Amino acid sequence: MAANAEIIKVLICQGTGGMASGAAAVAAAFTEEFTKQGVEASVGKRCEVVGTGCRGLCANDVLVDIVLPGQTAVTYDFVTPEMVPQIVTEHVLGNEPVAKKVAGEYYTQFLAKQQRIIFSRCGTVNAESLDDFLAHQGFTGIKKAVTMKPAEVIDEVKRSGLRGRGGGGFPTGVKWSFCAASPGDEKYLICNADEGDPGAFMDRSVLEGDPYGLIEGMMIGAYAIGCKFAYVYVRAEYPLAIKRLQLAIDTCYAKGILGENCMGLGFQLDMRIKAGAGAFVCGEETALMASIEGHRGMSRPRPPFPAVRGLWGKPTNINNVETFANVSYIFYNGADWYSSIGTEGTKGTKIFALTGKVKHTGLVEVPAGTTMKEVIYDVCGGILNNRKFKAVQAGGPSGGCLPAEALDAQVDYDSLIKAGAMMGSGGLVVMDETTCMVDIARFFLNFTRAESCGKCIPCRIGLKIMLEILERITHGEGREGDLELLEDMAYDIKKSSLCGLGQTAPNPVLSTLRYFRHEYEAHIKEKRCPSNSCKPLLKFEVVDGACKKCGLCFRVCPVDAVRWEKGQLAVIDKEKCTQCTSCYDACRFMAIE
């Protein structure tokens, strides 16, 4: 891309991640240095997309690309204003990249196994510019779609094998055909952008990095189904996503791309954003529709399914952001191309949000069927601080924790369900040996209990009782029979809850019980937390044999409870210690118990 550049370019990540790490200061330092040295160069924003919306590696911010005329870009990571003079002198003027500061091999590796299709525009184009979008295949998908009959469009989507990316994995084409077949002229199309899963943020990146791509996908869907009105339900916690999308919608109206006669293609579509108001349950489709109608977001029993009786009683089709984004690409390159990627049961690529105790956190787009091991170790560089891998939590509060034995599982819908988790929206939270699995189960249950809408009793009361049991266990007050009771309740709640939230809420408990039962037992029988994570069960002592006398614990302790001198064993003052676990987390040698 640098081949045609005539001027030296410095591109700096200035999204939330970049700004939080001090991108503004770095940009100012570059400008100042160039003025001082008399170099003509442009200091620009590489991506203003928030956080990992850009290339998915904002954990290493501030990332800076230096593009010299006629050369490929060189990427630096962890750039600080102090490094700028050296980079300018040696690299820009001396044409010799500062080897020590260049983003290491991991950066190439991070990108090597990925196949960035949905993300191909994110971070590459200016998300707010319609011209940029048009220059990158923009709206060619919808133009192709309107040359076909709506039924043929649906067939094309069916043929591609696309399954809903919101988590359930229902074939998208089939879903569309249900709504298309429903009688009535007035139908609604809804894009579910209520990404509430803690640990998932790919929808946000698409909304912020490629809003026109989403609009195009929705236009294709609306044309196929025969909807004239579309809503995008975005959670209010994503102000930038709402702003970008609103801007894109406004531009589309101004240019006649949306409205009475879309692009002159002979169909009508109006689109409106509906901002959510902070309720996880609104990701469930019946609750989401209630919320759009202005009620409390309570789910209702199905059937009737939304395709028959949805928003304001009319046939409605709901898809997730990533699903619509996929649709555009199916029409750019054809269903055959799309179905050539991925596995037998899951076609195309899937975006994962990797977080937790992994070296390079971020957004990763890989073909379905890549194994969990490849994603965690090859793409994301393995476990932080060289600790031992314990589990990966897939699928958010509705998913499950997979142990090391399951690392060879492929990331597609069917393999993950077989292993006891689910794809969900694609959040993968990596945990190491310092994470207590009982605590994680408690954490998720606490979340789903708080977010339950309270309409049905299994979910409202059942989850509360399960949470109380787990809290008791993590406080060292577990009793014989607790685990059996937990299991019984979990199955009953799954069977009898009204909507997806309740039906899946016990999953984290069940999967941790399946793979990490010994940890529960240690809490109950020995009153001990094997991962040293449950505060009431901790002692905080330095293990003499393991301590390398490095003083890390001393440096991180916020209350000066650690006594340490160079070359000496550290000692923890129990009087002062507030059991904040800072030292335990910081120690690289597992020398604190």
Partner 1 sequence: MSNAAQSVAQEEIDLTGANQVIDKYQDMHGSLMPVLQGIQEHYGYIPEPTVHLVAERLNVYTSQIYGVLTFYAQFHLKPRGKYIVRVCMGTACHVKGATRIGDTLTEQLGIGHAETTEDLKFTAEYVACIGACGMAPVIMVNEATYGSMSVQKMVEVIDKYKAME
Using CA atoms, how far apart are residues 9 and 17, in angstroms rounded to an integer? 21
Give 69 or 313: the residue with its C-beta nearer to partner 1: 313
| Nearest alpha-carbon partner for 357 in 391, 328, 323, 324 | 391
Using CA atoms, how far apart are residues 269 and 252, in angstroms rounded to an integer? 11
Using CA atoms, how far apart are residues 470 and 437, in angstroms rounded to an integer? 11
Give 276 or 506: the residue with its C-beta nearer to partner 1: 276
* Category of 289 on φ-ψ map: left (φ > 0), alpha (ψ -120 to 50) or beta: alpha
| Nearest alpha-carbon partner for 559 in 549, 572, 568, 570 | 572
CB of residue 92 vs partner 1: minimum separation in angstroms?
29
Give 74 or 534: the residue with its C-beta nearer to partner 1: 534
Residues that bind partner 1 (CB under 8 A): 16-17, 19-21, 50-52, 56, 58-59, 195-201, 204, 236-239, 274-280, 291-297, 312, 353, 355-357, 361-363, 393, 396, 427, 429, 431, 435, 440, 443-444, 447, 451, 453, 556, 558, 580-582, 585
Q: Are 7 and 69 in contact (CB under 8 A)?
A: yes
Q: Which residues of 521-534 are buried (b: 16+ CB within 10 A; e: fewer)?
A: bbbbeeebbbbbbb
CB of residue 424 vs partner 1: minimum separation in angstroms?
12
Q: Is 575 exposed, middle or buried (0-12, 13-18, 19+ CB in 10 A)?
A: exposed
Give 130 or 510: the residue with its C-beta nearer to partner 1: 510
Give 176 or 516: the residue with its C-beta nearer to partner 1: 516
Give 129 or 578: the residue with its C-beta nearer to partner 1: 578
Give 266 or 558: the residue with its C-beta nearer to partner 1: 558
CB of residue 203 vs partner 1: minimum separation in angstroms?
9
> Between the CA of residue 511 and those of 39, 234, 385, 505, what are the distances in Å?
59, 30, 26, 11
CB of residue 78 vs partner 1: minimum separation in angstroms?
12
CB of residue 164 vs partner 1: minimum separation in angstroms?
21
Q: Which contiguous run of DSSP H or E holds residue 320?
A: strand 316-320
Q: How many CB atoms lie within 10 A of CB 480?
A: 8
CB of residue 293 vs partner 1: minimum separation in angstroms?
5
CB of residue 540 vs partner 1: minimum separation in angstroms?
14
CB of residue 341 vs partner 1: minimum separation in angstroms?
25
Give 329 or 443: the residue with its C-beta nearer to partner 1: 443
CB of residue 510 vs partner 1: minimum separation in angstroms?
17
Using CA atoms, how far apart are residues 12 and 35, in angstroms rounded to an integer? 18
CB of residue 465 vs partner 1: minimum separation in angstroms?
22
> Between the CA of residue 440 and those of 205, 391, 418, 447, 537, what are the distances in Å?
26, 11, 21, 11, 16
CB-side neighbour CA atoms (13 Å) of 128: 10
| Nearest alpha-carbon partner for 245 in 231, 259, 265 | 231
Give 331 or 352: the residue with its C-beta nearer to partner 1: 352
**What 3 state SS string does 404-418 have?**
HHHHHCECCHHHHHH
Give 15 or 164: the residue with its C-beta nearer to partner 1: 15
Angle at 195 between CA 191 and CA 196, to 5 degrees: 140
